[in-house]
Amino acid sequence: MKIAVAGTGYVGLVTGTCLAEMGQTVVCFDVQEEKIAALQQGRSPIYEPDLEQLIEKNMEAGRLSFTAEEKEAYGEADIVFLAVGTPEKEDGSADLTYIEAAVSSIAQNMTKDIVLVTKSTVPVGTNERMRVMIERWKPRFLRASVISNPEFLREGSAIHDWFYGDRIVIGASEADREAAELLIRLYEPLGIPIVRTDLASAEMIKYASNAFLATKISFINEIANICEKVGATIDDVAYGIGLDKRIGSHFLRAGIGYGGSCFPKDTKALVQIAGNVQHQFELLEAVIQVNNHQQALLVEKAKQYMSLRGKNVALLGLAFKPNTDDVREAASIVIANRLLAEGAHVVAYDPIATNNAKRHLPSSVRYARSVTEAIRDADAAFIVTEWDVIKQTPLSVFREKMRIPIIFDGRNCYSLEEAKQANVTYVSIGRAAVVGEGCEVKKGKY
């Protein structure tokens, strides 16, 4: 089979590369010619562990290619995976402009029957509308089947998730049963459980999955905030409830909230989808509200200890999570802007995401090339992303390099015992603060 992938973002590029790694012949299409030119040289436009090596390997093997020519991409394709963006509109709903443009292009360039597989996250009912669109634009004598096949790839571990995922969801109408069987055969070598549903259910599974995980994150963050007020320790609480098999330990890590390209966008889109059928999703509205508050929590904590005006602040971590260069909806953006508004001087460090962050952060933010450079002579350090290079920096280094060793840790990277031994002032999430002797920091006094 010949496979085409529309879109070379996180989902499209990983999808195309992994299909090629499975032995398929794949061509990836994108309208951005500069991006395609870089990919043709084996350079990935995004950071994802092992992705660039797999791109080079499969290009050399002749299984993977890239093009900005629509006919070259879609003209001979048997299966087309749709992986274009569905950005958020002002009202929280998904913008389907790129979906519609891609479907139009595919329909007008197809030369044989195709299976159109939607990887993009789209509102419930979109695949049915796509079926109407493609019927309108395609040659009358050709058939186009429409399949919903949502992705569950985590940025930073997307390659692993492709080959060792929890499930593969395939949604299709009864009329497209054969096309669904074709896709099942394509995925069977992975040995991952396959869930067969109708189109609407497959679309809803994606939104419901992300909304549930976002809910779990906001829940444990609210519990952490209560822990601080009643003298409990969130690490022990999360461990204790996570042992319950009905709850599980995943996504019970307290911190400064979720970010990235999926959870913020998909939670708001699901609220909008519910509203479109006259259902107020009050629980999810609260989840979003909690997360918005949580992202600014570190700055509020810092203001209890010091005036930030004129202070040198190190901002450690800019990506929304480790092992990615994605800063979309990252807590670092909220925190940096809040710090600057308070009059602080911000020096930021991230091992991968600095270039992307520069496009989102104010020009007054300065950038360091290492943790130690960022914290040198700092009055405070904010840990925002739990990169290994940050977690593995001993707290004794903070004590040695900073002017005042006070650390506000939004990811609970260190134990309280480590903070006591290093004799630093350490303020984390859902745990008692540690105040180092001789740090010259007293709550509300500095």
Q: Is 262 a catalytic residue?
A: yes
Q: Is residue 255 a known part of a binding site?
A: yes
User: Of 197, 223, 246, which residue is a domain's last?
Assistant: 197
Q: Cα dist. 437→154, 411, 423 in Å?
A: 42, 24, 6
Task: Let me know whether 337 and 234 are in one domain.
Answer: no
Catalytic pick among 18, 28, 227, 262: 262
Which residues are CB-contacts of 278 (< 8 A; sequence separation ≥ 6)? Answer: none
pTM above 0.85, yes or no: yes
Task: Let me know whether 290 and 302 are in one domain.
Answer: no
Tokens of 190: 């992975």
Q: What span, in angstroms and rounded, lies between the C-alpha atoms of 114 and 2?
A: 10
User: Which three-class secondary structure state does DSSP give residue 205?
Assistant: helix
Residue 33 exposed, middle or buried by CB count within 10 Å (0-12, 13-18, 19+): exposed
Q: Is residue 425 a known part of a binding site?
A: no
Q: What span, in angstroms and rounded, lies between the C-alpha atoms of 164 and 278?
A: 38
Q: Is residue 435 part of a domain?
A: no
CA dihedral 337, 343, 345, 351 (to 10 degrees): -20
Task: Let me know whether 21 and 148 are in one domain.
Answer: yes
Task: Let me know whether 59 and 185 are in one domain.
Answer: yes
Q: Is residue 411 a known part of a binding site?
A: no
Per-residue pLDDT, 444: 47
Number of independent structural domains in the chain: 3
Range of the domain at 289: 206-294
User: Tell me: the pLDDT tens digits for 50-100?
Assistant: 999 999 999 999 999 999 999 999 999 999 999 999 998 888 888 999 999
Per-block mean pLDDT, blocks of 10 residues, the chain (446 long) = 96 98 98 96 95 98 98 96 93 92 96 97 95 93 97 96 98 96 97 98 97 98 98 98 97 96 94 95 98 96 96 98 96 98 98 97 97 98 98 97 96 97 97 82 49
Indicate which CATH number applies to the domain containing 272.
Answer: 1.10.1040.10
Q: Is residue 251 a known part of a binding site?
A: yes
